[in-house]
Chain A
Amino acid sequence: MASGILVFIEHVDGKINRASYEAVRAAQLLGAEIGQTASAVIFGESVSDAAAEVASRKLERVYTVENQWLKSYTADGYAQAFRQVIEQLQPTLVLLCHTYEVRDFAPKLAAALNRAFIGDCIGYKVEDGAPVFTRQVFQGKLSADVVAVGDAPHFASFQIGSFRGEECEAGAAEVSAISVNLDADIIRQQPEERFKEAKAAVDLTQAPLIVSVGRGIKEEKNIEIVRKLAEALGAEIAASRPICDNEWLPMDRQIGSSGQTVSPKLYLAVGISGAIQHLVGMKGARTIVAINKDPEAPIFEVADYGIVGDLFEIVPALTAEAEKRKR
C-alpha cells in the first residue's frame, strides 16, 4: 500500500538548490491536510552533509542515495535510481520543484512507471481528500485545476516561488541510506563541466530603474521609442526573451529565467505579456508598471499600475511628459 510524500532534493556538488525547500514546504502543508508524512530523497556520490542540512526540517526521514554513477547529474542515472527508490519506498506522491533539472528527468521517470506527472504547478487544493493541483496554461493567461488519474505514485512539480522555503517547519529527521544498482551501460548522456558564457557586460541587477520591452513592439526599428523613454526616465533598457532571440537587443539585456533576475525600484514593462519565464525574473521589483494592449495579459497580475492601450501612442506620450518634467 503506497503511502507518504517523497520530496526530491536537488543539489550541485552538495550545494542544495534553495527551490528544493519550497517543495519540502509544499509537502509539509499538503501532507498535513491529506494525512501523509513527508520524507525527502537526495541523490549523489557523497551527500551526507547535504542530507544533514535537509534533516533539520520537519520530515519523517531523509534518504540518501549514494552511487558513483550519480556523481554528476544525468537524466538516465537519476531516472533509473529514482525508479528503484520508488519501488522500495512505495510513496503515494512525489513532489519536486520545477527546475530545469526536474524538467529533464521527471517526465522520463513518470513515463517509465506509466504514471502522471503534473508539472509546473503553482498551488494545490484538497477536494474529497485528494490533492488537486493548479497549473498555468496559455502562458499564465488561464489557470487549470488538474487531478491525477490512476494508481499511485503520482508526480507533481511546483513552479519556483509557489511556496516559501524559509517557512519550512524545523525538525530532526532521521537520515537513512538506500542503495541502488546502476552501471555505466544505462547512462547514455556524458555531461561536461557546467560553465557560464562571457560575463554579462551589463549588470541590470544593480539598476534602480528599468524599462523593459517585449514582443508587442513588433519590429526592431520600434525599439527606438522605448530607448527614448528609458533615456527620459534615466532608466536602463531591458527586454523579454523573444526580443533578444531576434537580436533586437543583446542577450545581456534579457530578464527572466534564462536571463537576469532583477528587483529594481521601478520596472516598466512595455508590450510584455508576462509569460511566467519572464515574471520570475522581475516580480520582485518594488513598483511594476505594465503597458499592454491585451487587458487579460498576465503582466497585469503583478503590476501596481496598468495601462491598457496602444504602446505606440502611450510610450511617446510618456517620454514627452517625462522630458517636460525634467525641464
Chain B
Amino acid sequence: MKIIVCLKQVPKNDSILRISETGDWIQDRDLTYEINESDAYALEEALQLKEKHGGEVIALSLGPARVQSVIKEALARGADRGLHLEDPAFDKLDAFGIGAVIAAAAKTEQFDLLLTGLQSDDFGFAQTGVVAAELLGAPHATIVMAVEVAEGSMRVKRELESGYFQWVTLPSPAVLTIQSGINTLRYATLKGIMAAKKKEIKKLDAAALGLDSNVLAPKQQIRRVYFPQKTKLTEMLEGSPSEVAAKLLDRLANEARVF
C-alpha cells in the first residue's frame, strides 16, 4: 500500500515565544523546531503498516526550506521518499489553505492512505486532514487509536470522549488523523541516517500543484495575538527550594486548608 504521511514542523514545545512586530504572529528568529507530536505518531503508524503490509511511505511537509529537516528525519526513520511543498504563496495559510495544498499534492500520488496527526501544536486547527479528505473526495476518520488494514478497506478505532471508543470501517483510499500514543516511536538509526541521504525529496510549488491565489485566499485571519489575561490570582512563591517548599506547605495547611 502507498501511504502519505503529513508532517508539520512546529516550534519546540518549551520554546520561549515572542510576539512579532506586526502583532499577528510570533517572531521566528531564534526558534528551534521539531516534528509536531501527533504527526510523529502518524509517521510511526505509517512505517508499521508498511512493515506489515508492504508498500511505500511518502513523508510530506509544507513550509520553508527548514522543514526539509523534518522530511530527512522521517526518511532516516524509514520513509521511502519525501515531498516538500514550498512556495512563498504558502506562507501564513489558514486551515483550509493547508488542507487544499496537501490535497493537491496527494492527488499527484495514487495513495491508499493519507495520515496526519490530529492537530498541530502551534495553530491547533485540528482541521487539515479532514479538509484534505473533503477536497480529495475521500472518506476520513479522526482521532484514531488503531488501524487494521484489509483488502480495499480498513477498520479503525476512534477515540471518543469520556473514555469511550468506537470501531469504524471505511473504504480506501482514506484519510486518518492519528492520536498521540497510538504506538511507540522509534528513533533513527545510524544506518537509517546514512540510507536517508540517497532518498529523493521532490519539491512542488503552487504552479506545479495547479493552485491559484483564489484557492489559497484566506477564509480566516488572525487580527492579533497576545498573552492571555490571567483569570485567577496566582501567588508565585520564590526562594531557595527548601524555602519555597516550606512556604507552600504553610499555605496549603493554613490558607487553602488542604491538609
Contacts and interface: CB of A to CB of B under 8 A. Distances in A.
A111 B256 contact: no
A189 B141 contact: yes
A120 B161 CA distance: 15
Contacts of A296: 16-17, 227
B214 to A, nearest CB: 10
B244 A317 contact: yes
B10 to A, nearest CB: 9
Nearest to B243: A317
Contact of A139 (B124, B224, B245): B124
Contacts of B248: 289, 305, 307, 318
Given A111-B99, A188-B170, A307-B248, A118 B122 contact: no
A313 B241 contact: yes
Given A99-B161, A139-B121, A306-B234, A188 B139 contact: yes
B167 to A, nearest CB: 4
Interface residues of B, number: 79
Interface residues of A, number: 91
Nearest to A300: B234
A191 B166 contact: yes
Contacts of B17: 138, 141-142, 296
Given A244-B181, A322-B249, A303 B234 contact: yes
A60 interface: no
A302 B232 contact: yes
A108 B133 contact: yes
A127 B219 CA distance: 18
18 contacts: A75-B141, A116-B96, A119-B126, A136-B124, A138-B11, A142-B17, A143-B227, A145-B223, A191-B167, A194-B165, A197-B163, A245-B180, A294-B14, A298-B228, A303-B232, A309-B241, A317-B244, A321-B245
Interface of A: 75-76, 79, 99-101, 103-105, 107-108, 110-112, 114-120, 127, 132, 135-150, 188-197, 200, 209, 215, 241-242, 244-245, 247, 257-259, 265-266, 273, 286-287, 289-290, 293-294, 296, 298, 300-310, 313-314, 316-318, 320-322, 325
